[in-house]
Structure 1
Amino acid sequence: MEINALLMGETDNVVTCVADVQAGSEVVYRKGDEILSLTARENIPYCHKIALTDIPEGGEVIKYDESLGRTSEAIGKGHWVSHNNLFSVPRDYDSEKAGDEFVMCAKQSQGAPDLEGFKFWGYRRAEGRPGIRNHVLILPTCACGSESSRIVASQVRGAVNIVFNTGCSDVAANTAMSQKVLTGFACNPNVYGVVIIGLGCETVPHLKLKEKIQAMTSKPVVSFGIQ
């Protein structure tokens, strides 16, 4: 069975679906070394939560081993958990503070950690750094392209954008720094590929930025101007 949901904590009573799930289909997730599943009782959207157990009205919803809030109605096993049936509860942080008797006893690591046999789900990048996300980055080269980048990213699942509030009429030092920062975003191992959106009159030309990124990484990069 293909895993299509993630359990974030051992005590969680919900899992997060990593794909759209249709009512009647199986939601498959890993808990430790076990592969577990349950049947979805209704459609569950991508990146939304599904209840692993029956949760009574007023019951806590647990994710990351932490309370996300309480339910406004009873939620049956296999049903969608969302803002429609979940509300936040103010947290009493003062009661969670460590008392005077608290002693820090965490063991400090000595030298490099032993990573033999260590594995995690990720994406191998040709440059050697693994990513834990596989985003397409919509990268503006100036403030005027930021809104277009946001709109494009909002229409494509898995796409992300940044807001870049400069890029026009910069002095040489600022232009060099802007290129360095934008290239750094593009080379991040959590980025699969890059779409650069430029205006055409900025001091960080989209074609030049494309060349810089391609000189540092083999990931796919495309660019175009919108003016």
Structure 2
Amino acid sequence: MIRTLAFGSAILSLLILAGLTVAGGLVYPDYNHLTQYISELGATGAVTGPAVRPAFVASGILLTLFWLLCIGLFPRSLLATAGFGLSSLNGLGLLLGGVFPCAFECSLADPPLYAILHDVFSGIGYLAGIAGVCLIALAARRWPRDRVLYPLGLACGIPAAAAVWLLHPGFEWYGAAQRVVELALAIFTIAVAMRLPARAQGEGTA
């Protein structure tokens, strides 16, 4: 039952985030996925804002729940617990990114307090999520019958770690960089969710 809840939370969270990104981009006038943040879809004053912000919150709640449930479902260790805990902060960052939207077009010109909080929480969420991927991957090296999460964690974590530093307006393609980070985190999340049926506490340590 808990595994089903965890799996469903992960998949539904990613579907909501992907759906709002695609649908919001179609509705938002002249939106460019390569040169604009996903957060611009939920910004104050954006035509898509009223629908996107609650979707951010819902997706964030589900993602946070998934990673917290993983603590009790996978073999326990310091590395694994830290990794799942950091990954849950990525979900929390998404949630708070919906509660505190960025200013219109995510402008940095004299941003209000809620926009500053948006950037802080979102930034922490991304960094924590990437660190979480790396720690979970390291923990997975010691999990019996698991030969997937360690190499996949490296394949997802390294590009995400490189792209996250390009998430600033000084880089023309910051929207593309954000998609690299989001895709890497999503792929690893799906991989962990797919391992849930074969995992239980006590199978191994790391």
TM-score range (shorter-chain normalised) is under 0.3
Name the structure with the higher strand share. 1
Name the structure with the higher helix share. 2
Task: Report which of the two structures shows the higher radius of gyration computed on alpha carbons.
Answer: 1
Q: When the two structures are superposed, what TM-score results if normalisation uses the length of structure 1?
A: 0.22
Q: When the two structures are superposed, what TM-score results if normalisation uses the length of structure 2?
A: 0.24
Bigger relative contact order, structure 1 or 2, given CA contacts below 8 A and separation 6+?
A: 2
